Amino acid sequence: MSDGLAHAGWSEALRDGRLLGRTCDDCGTTQGTPKAACPDCGSRALETVELPTEGVVYTETTVNVPPEGIEERGYRVGIVEVGDARILGRLGGGPSIGDEVTLSGYVEDEQGYAVPRFEPA
């Protein structure tokens, strides 16, 4: 499966409110992003798993976009730890690092893929 096809399926699941990850059969790493191969060991023996929709903020930062951007001028993104995986998403409601958050929806990115949105639990 190519990264593009994997990403499309991952986006579809997210629009249904589900977070999918992929666990590597060879090294046991779980990825929160749709990759065709394991970034740790290069294995293609990846199994799709369902990830929890609640997690903890691992990093967060504010992205400043021009006023004519899709949303408000600045928005926050962060990496959220859900289960064994880490997922990049939008952060609503101003959570800080270490705060518990829950999946609250998604936004569409420029490529037409869904990006998860998290808010404080």
**90 CA to centre of own chain:** 9
The number of residues in the chain equals 121
Q: Does 85 bind Zn ion (CB under 5 A)?
A: no
Q: Which of 5, 12, 15, 41 binds Zn ion (CB under 5 A)?
A: 41
Q: Given the complex with Zn ion, which of 87 and 114 has the nearer CB atom? A: 87
Q: Does 38 bind Zn ion (CB under 5 A)?
A: yes
Asked if 45 and 24 touch (Cβ cutoff 8 Å), the reply is yes
Q: Given the complex with Zn ion, which of 15 and 44 has the nearer CB atom? A: 44
Structure tokens at 57: 């903020």
Q: Does 43 bind Zn ion (CB under 5 A)?
A: yes
Nearest to 70 by CA among 106, 105, 15, 109: 109
Q: Does 63 bind Zn ion (CB under 5 A)?
A: no
Size of residue set near Zn ion by CB under 5 A: 8
**What number of other Cβ atoms are within 10 A of residue 112's Cβ?**
9
List contacts with Zn ion (CB under 5 A): 24, 26-27, 29, 38, 40-41, 43
